[in-house]
Structure formats: C-alpha cells, structure tokens
Homo-oligomer: A and B are copies of this chain.
Amino acid sequence: MKKIVVIGGVAAGLKAAAKARRCDPEAGITVLERGEIISYGACGLPYYVGGDVHDIEDLMKTPVGIVRGPGYFKNVKDIVVLTQTEATVIDRQAKTVKVKKLATGETDSIPYDQLVIATGASAIKPRLAGVELGNIYTLWHPDDARAIQQGLGKGTFKRAVIIGAGLVGMEMAEALTKRQLEVTVVEMKEQLFPAFLDPEIAGIAAKYAAEKGIKLLTGEKVERFIGETDVTAVETDKRTIPADLVVLAMGAHPNAKLAEDAGLTVGATGAIVVDDEMRTSDPDIFAGGDCVENVNIISGQKVFAPMGSTANKHGRVIGENLCGGHAKFKGILNTVVVKLHGLTVGKTGLSEQDAKQLGYEYITAMVAGPDKIHYMPGAKLITIKLIAEAKTGKVLGMQAVGEGEVAKRVDVVAAVLTLGGTIDDLFDIDLSYAPPYNSPIDNVAVAANAVMNKLAGKLKGISSLAAKEKMTAEQTVFLDVRTPDECKQIRLAGCPNIKYIPLGQLRSRLTELNKDDEIVAFCKISLRGYEAEGILEGAGFENVKVMEGGVAAWPFSCEKG
C-alpha cells in the first residue's frame, strides 16, 4: 500500500489529500498539522470579525454543517489527520518525516512513498519595539480572530490601528468600522493597495474608504508601539496614534524552511520552486499552496502570491499527480478581488506599473459607466482600467472599482488573459445581455473600444492624476460638458480655468473656446467628454484631451451643491 504523507492541514494539503483519495481508494494517506484545528477558511476571518459570519466554526464546516475535523476526514475520506503534530525534518534519503507531538513533546518518524508540502505562509510580524504588547494581532489564524472578537465583545476597543493597506488590512478596516470602531490604516507606501493597483484607481477606492470613516495614512511608517501591558498608541514617523487594538497586516512570508532544510530548491521569492505538475526538485515530493512560487502567465515572472483559490487548485493538481496523473497547473494572473463596504475592487493580469517595469510598449484606457443600463433600478457605477500591448492589442491586465458589479468584469478579462486574447476579442465576446444585468455593450467591451479609439488616435486621454497637475496651468482649460443640473450638484474642486458648456450646445458655442489652449474635456464618466473631443477636433481644435473616467473616477476633492 502506497504511503502518502501531507504536511499542512488546510487548503492545499487537505485538497491534495482529498483528491488523492478520489483517485486512489487504496493508498494510505496521512496529514500532519501542527495546529489544533484543520480545514478552516482563513479568508472568512474578516467576515467573522465584522459580524457577517456568526460562528467561527462555520469556517470549518461543510455546507450542511458538519465540522471538517479529523473524524470527518476519517469517515468520509478515509484520511488520517494528526493534529498538534509538527513536521520537524524531512529525511529524503530515508523517506521519512520526523514529527513532534506538540501536546506531549514526543517525537516520531513517519515513512512516506510520496510527500506533499503544504505548510502555507505566516503573517509578517515586524521587529519593532513594543510589538509583543497586548492587543496587537496579526489576522491569520482563527485564534487571532477569536481573540479580537473577545476584545470587541468586552467593549474596550474603541480605536483600532491597522498596519498595512493591503487585502487583509482593508478587509479588517471594513470589519472594524462595521463594529463601530474608529479605524486608522497606516501604510508605508504612497497609496492604498500598493501591491496591485495603479494610483488613479487606488485613489478612487481611498476616497470611498474615507467616506466610510476609514482614516488612511499613506507614506507613513510605523516605528514603535507604546503601552505598558496592552498597546495604547502607535508611533509613526509622523505622529502618535492612540490605539486600543492593532492589527498587523503587513503581508506574509512562505513557510519554506522545512523544505529548504531538506535541500529542496527555494526561489528568489523565498518560496518553494515547483514545476508545472507541482513537483519540487525531488520527484517524490510535491508542494503547493502559500509555500510555493507561482508563475504569472502574462509576465512569465515567478511570484509569491498566497491565495486560497490557488492553494485549492494546486491541491487538486497534486492529488491527481500523486496517483500517476499528469495534471498541470499553468500559472496565475495575480487576480484579486476585495470588498470594501459597498465598493468592490478587482484586478487581474498586469497593472500599468507592472507593464512599465517589464518594459512593455503598452496602452491603457480608463472608462466609467453604469454596471447595467441606467434606467434599471440599482444601476451603479464602475470604473475599468484596461492595459494592452500597443503593437498587438494583446490584453495585459485590468483593474476595476465601483459600487456596481466589478467581479464579473474581472473574471471575463481573466478568461481572456488566460487564453492570450486581444482587445478585439474582448469586444467580440457575445456577453449575455438583458437590462437587469448590464448594457447592450458591456463595460468591458466599452473599455476595449476606448483602447481601440486611443490606438486609432481618436481618443486622446489624460489620466485624473495628470489632469490634476494641469489644473493651475494657464494654457489649459477644463471643459465640463455636463448639463447645468449635473454641474450644480457636483464639480471638481479648485479648478480656476473651467468652462461649462453642455454637450448639446458645444457645436454652436465653439467660439467661446480658444484653439491655442489645451482643452481637457470631461463629463460624469467622460463618454460626453469623448464626444466633445470629436466635435472640437472636427472643428479644427488640435490640442484636446479627454479626462478619463470623468467626475465619477475623480480621486480628488469635489465641491457639492
């Protein structure tokens, strides 16, 4: 009987074990987990803290309420799970794993024919003074979430400081504002979601976060934590922020030491190197989940991208290949989606920053628009930024943000990226259309059209960030072509050289504009801004730009009323 041993009892490890069982009813399968619990959905922890998930055990249950504990794995899947059992050494010669029973201190040696390393990643804990004070948590394991929940229950937490404006940090910012805490997020880099968003998209999300009461301090570095036993304040390079609760959301590092010590190849990312069948440098040892490197299929680069979706797919591929299969894992797109109260932020493929860094000749377009046809109740705006290779039109990446249906558009572009499609393909897709769901030309197709229009020289875009720089330039006139009603409601703040001409009057009021000026046209979403460009260029204006995304995607302040 073949002996399969798996180290790590969460997503990748248990998925590999479960799939191996489905592929081989005979093999002996043993899973080693150093923690007390297994098979938990860490992704759900912020929703437990925020109150959407009432019982933390729900994160470890099947949909019908059965806890996926060792008994479940024994009865349903005939898999032996040993908890509180740490793998300490992999002896590749002897093909054994040395383990330590954490409850008793006993050690043992477990033989394997094939081994799976699924040790995951650990939250980064900075070496800063005071980091060991009470009420400073990472949010990685259910125990962390339970502890925070208990503190919240006592009512002693009033002010939370979150360190890091990435996925976990911002999900926690949502969760803790929902629980009525005053929330400050401190981020070292200059923007929200610095790991994956371009600044003008990040700005839209940051503006929204501020509206929801989240105080975001970017370009600010935490230096130490202050307090006696429990934390009372966070000191940054700019100020001291009172805090009853601190969440460290500064990213994670792969748990690759066990593999490294066993002589397995570890990459520059610090994660374990695997081939496209998820094999390590030892053919009898597979690895998957947060502890391994992934390939971004667009850039070809090796990346550390710890995601639960990827971990589960890795596990399935490993399970099949443990049983003689040759399933492949092709790589990832660094796809991300994250909820921030009513806002959704998503990204797939390369950002513009990525494309630039990789030396691509690229083109981008940013379009805003309602997520379904405007006359339907519940239509909400979304903004999409698309990045494509200039020469070939190949789609490189996409970002999207808005209160509307963002995830659908991200997933459609992810599919196109996976198959190497172009902006033409994106327009061609016969997407499902009915009024409750979208518009006849879906937002992703409009984004593709905008890229086409730029390539054809018909749409000369300027980003919100670049436009902001020009606000005080003398030779630049901002041309707002919205209706008087719209302009009465909301206007760009601090814009001295602005002309208000509704689009329908533009053709007859051309003399009010000067052909020597640079004109930055815009409207609510910049559809009419684009029409204005066409009208002006048709009339001989030569220096017209469209502010992409319009007022809807303006990340700076506005005047209202």
Contacts and interface: CB of A to CB of B under 8 A. Distances in A.
A107 to B, nearest CB: 32
A389 interface: no
Given A53-B376, A316-B441, A408-B411, A64 B482 contact: yes
Interface in A46-93: 47, 52-53, 58-59, 61, 63-66, 72, 75-78
A410 B430 CA distance: 10
A515 interface: no
Contacts of A331: 428, 430
Contacts of A135: none
B427 A313 contact: yes
A418 B411 contact: no
A66 B438 CA distance: 20
Given A376-B47, A418-B421, A431-B414, A436 B339 contact: yes
B59 A434 contact: no
A195 interface: no
B507 A75 contact: yes
A420 B316 CA distance: 24
Interface string A322-351: 000000111111111111000010101000
**Number of copies of chain A assembled together:** 2
Interface stretch (A119-127, A241-249, A303-311): A303-311
Interface residues of A, number: 102
A469 to B, nearest CB: 28
A410 B432 contact: yes
A149 interface: no
A74 to B, nearest CB: 9
Contacts of A308: 433, 440
A382 to B, nearest CB: 13
Interface string A431-456: 11111111011100100010000000
Residue from A44, A59, A307, A435 whose CB has the most chain B CB atoms within 10 Å: A435
A338 B43 contact: no
A11 B440 contact: yes
Contacts of A328: 424
A312 B433 CA distance: 11
A543 B158 CA distance: 62
Interface in A503-543: 503-505, 507-508, 524, 531, 534-535, 537-539
Nearest to A46: B435
A234 interface: no
Contacts of A61: 375
Interface string A289-322: 0000000000000000001111111001000000
Contact of A78 (B339, B431, B507, B537): B507
Contacts of A436: 47, 339
A269 interface: no
Contacts of A435: 41, 43-44, 47
Residue from A63, A376, A534 whose CB has the most chain B CB atoms within 10 Å: A63
Contact of A437 (B311, B373, B407, B424): B407
A79 to B, nearest CB: 12
A407 B432 contact: yes
A25 B430 CA distance: 30
A311 B440 CA distance: 8
A412 interface: yes
A432 B335 contact: yes
A425 interface: yes
A307 B44 contact: no
Contact of A22 (B11, B22, B458, B504): B458
A483 interface: yes
B531 A441 contact: no
Contact of A330 (B47, B72, B415, B428): B428
Given A337-B432, A414-B432, 5 more contacts: A26-B538, A58-B375, A76-B503, A328-B424, A408-B408
3 pairs of A and B residues whose beta carbons are closest in the complex: A25-B538, A337-B432, A415-B415
15 contacts: A25-B539, A41-B435, A43-B434, A44-B373, A64-B483, A76-B531, A308-B440, A309-B431, A316-B441, A328-B424, A333-B430, A335-B430, A337-B437, A339-B436, A412-B415
